[in-house]
Amino acid sequence: MTKLKFIHFKVFVLSILFTQASLAQVDAESRFYTETFNNGVNRNIITDYGAIINDGQDDSQVLTTAINDVSSRPNGGKIYFPAGTYHLKFVHLKSNVHLVFHKNAVVKLPPNDNPWGAIFWIGNRETVQNVSIRGDGGRFTIDVSDAEFSEICIVAKVENVKNFLIDNVHVIENYTQQACFVFGRGHNGGYPEGGILKNLDVIDAEFGYGLVQIGLGSKILFKNIQSTGGICLRLEPADRELTGAKDIVGRNITCTNGNSAVMLSPHSSIGGTINVHGVKSVGCSFGVRIERGFGPYGDGRGRYANDSRVTGILAEYGTNAQVRSDHFLYLPCELKNVEKRRPINWEVSNGWYYDAVSIAPVIYDQGDGDGFYKVEFGQVGFSGFRYQPKVILNSITDKIPDSQCNNSSSNFVTIRKGNASNFAIDGGNGGTNGQNVHLWAYNQNNVNQQWEEINRGNGFYSYKKRNTNFCIDGNNGGSNGQNIHLWTCNNGNQNQHFRKVSLGNNRFRLEKRNASNVSIDGLGGGANAQNVQMGSSNNNSGNQQWIITRVNTAKANKNKLAIRDGASLEKLKIYPNPTKGLMRISGFNNLVSSIKVLNSLGQVIMESSSTESPKNEMSINVSRLQSGVYWVVAGSQTSIFVKE
């Protein structure tokens, strides 16, 4: 039998009620959009206009004819797209027209597509009002994965339009060079006013773009939106735009393995109030980025209003973030030598970013003077940022140059054998030239197994035994079975330089610099005093796969804003997620008898316990919770879920 308990705090409950009431006034959908969906005619793109599904041909002209027809009716109407595949580009929406796609409808680019432009244009040629693009019965798909990395491919360009809705869309990207939904100036200088984007997501988004970029707009609600890759909600105007976005509201904004969930960068524009609540970042470079205004063409520094807020932030550390090259300056010393992997679109990105580890929950340009503005964050929840000393980084003062990490204990590592991970490379007691290097039972506290990893440049490293000046040395030349020993560390001695060749799953082959045909080899199995030697380089040999782990000499993050400190990086499995009510939790490290739900303040608001024996799966009903982002906790494990 499972007991469900709500945890109440008198003052907390009053404050939450007040907060929910104020949020409800700000984000009520009726404030942004008035439904006109049922005012006009009903038309079918196939039976009324002759579109042919799944034929691989461009359907844009057929849709344009349909839009012209429906918009000419007194109250407009809707155009329905049955399940099937359509090919569309450069479609200009007109007033009082609603495009309705069956959840199994797919929109793709036409054959011989132009390498720039948008699929849907709203308010580019004329002022438009009372329009929508929506999925029927669930999210329909827009698939632009056939586009090249270098293409400028936009799903919808939203410009001079009033009273609009975009709802229930799933986008499949291919790391192209623009956000999916772009907001800015259009016909006669007009811009979007009054509208909603909700229930949208994109996968495979490019680092600097993502799901939404809003440069200019007013009174717009973004709700339940998610980006895998890139930035989910990016407020950044076009160059030389002096008017910024205002009255922008965001609710439940999620980033996965991308750059950040929310970004504010006003350039030279003067914007208004930005109100975002419920930010979830899983394995992104940052949860939130707040940048100072700057005037690239001498137009002055812009800003957003000082009453702006980005609250309810929950950030989870990961190892597949999209990290801008200059942001590595904020990595703590313990992670300075982390592997930086080239992204799939490396040639187009030109070194602008890498795939690497998350840096911090929030980065914020803080200071006095032009271009700075205040943003309220409230309390920030995070998990797994073990070495990052701050939850909110000041991008002006919190840089950590490499020189600051020299000779730091954070550069020490252990080197375990991949196929016998209970044994590590051990230098023996003390240190003399020619002293043998061997395997020994792994103990991270054994200084004989702690090696200072010294970056020799161009991907090569030396390994100096702790408390000595002796390095792992592969001896002269390179032959199979050649002995490895300690020798006095010398930067110019390439026998002590090894390339870390990534083999995935945090395993590396250590290849000798001046003899790339050989690598460090631990021989078969694992035993105390087992020899370590050079062996013919082979990525498939488990004897040459080494697990390199930082020695944890630094204190874990103790910032009091943490929802959990030192939380396990092993996530719980939650289904369904997002959820409207009942959800199942599994993936426990150990059998559990209770689970807890925490809000963004780190306070326990629900608890489910079992009076029976501990279980490996439990259920909890969260239907009574307000929509938002929450944590579920079981023992030392945590995960984030979204309540719809």
How would you write 38-84 as a 3-class SS string? CCCEEEECCCCCCCCCCCCCCCHHHHHHHHHHHHCCCCCEEEEECCE
pLDDT beyond 70 at 429: yes
Question: How confident is the prediction for the chain on average, in pLDDT?
Answer: 88
Concatenated DSSP letters of 550-573: E---SPPP--TT-SSSS--SSPPE
Query: What topology is assigned to 573-643 in CATH?
Result: Immunoglobulin-like (2.60.40)
Q: Using one digit for the tens of pLDDT, what is the confidence trace for 495-546?
A: 999 999 988 877 999 999 999 999 999 999 999 999 999 999 999 999 999 9
Neighbours of 586 (CB within 10 A): 14
Res 552: pLDDT: 59
List the structure tokens of 125: 């040629």
- Domain 414-550 and domain 573-643 have a common topology: no
pLDDT beyond 70 at 612: no
Q: Using one digit for the tens of pLDDT, what is the confidence trace for 317-350?
A: 999 999 999 999 999 877 877 778 888 888 787 7
List the single range of 144-148, 421-425, 541-545, 569-573 with lowest mean pLDDT.
569-573
Among 233-242, 560-569, 621-630, top mean pLDDT goes to: 233-242
Distance (Å, rounded) from C-alpha 90 to C-alpha 69? 17
Contact indicator for 484, 473 with CB cutoff of 8 Å: yes
List the structure tokens of 45: 């793109």
Distance (Å, rounded) from C-alpha 304 to C-alpha 359? 25
List the one residue out of 234, 196, 241 whose CA is nearest residue 212. 234
List the structure tokens of 370: 């032009």
CA 319 to chain centre: 10
Instruction: Report domain extents, the chain.
Output: 29-331+361-403, 414-550, 573-643
Q: Considering the chain, what percentage of its residues have pLDDT values greater than 70?
A: 90
Res 639: pLDDT: 75
pTM: 0.70
Q: Using one digit for the tens of pLDDT, what is the confidence trace for 25-77?
A: 789 999 999 999 999 999 999 999 999 999 999 999 999 999 999 999 999 99
Mean pLDDT of the 237-251 span: 93
Q: Using one digit for the tens of pLDDT, what is the confidence trace for 374-420?
A: 999 988 888 888 788 788 999 988 998 877 765 444 578 999 999 99
List the one residue out of 259, 263, 309 whose CA is nearest residue 286. 259
Query: What topology is assigned to 414-550 in CATH?
Result: Trefoil (Acidic Fibroblast Growth Factor, subunit A) (2.80.10)
Res 563: pLDDT: 38
The CATH number fitting domain 29-331+361-403, selected from 2.60.40.10, 2.40.50.140, 3.20.20.70, 2.160.20.10: 2.160.20.10
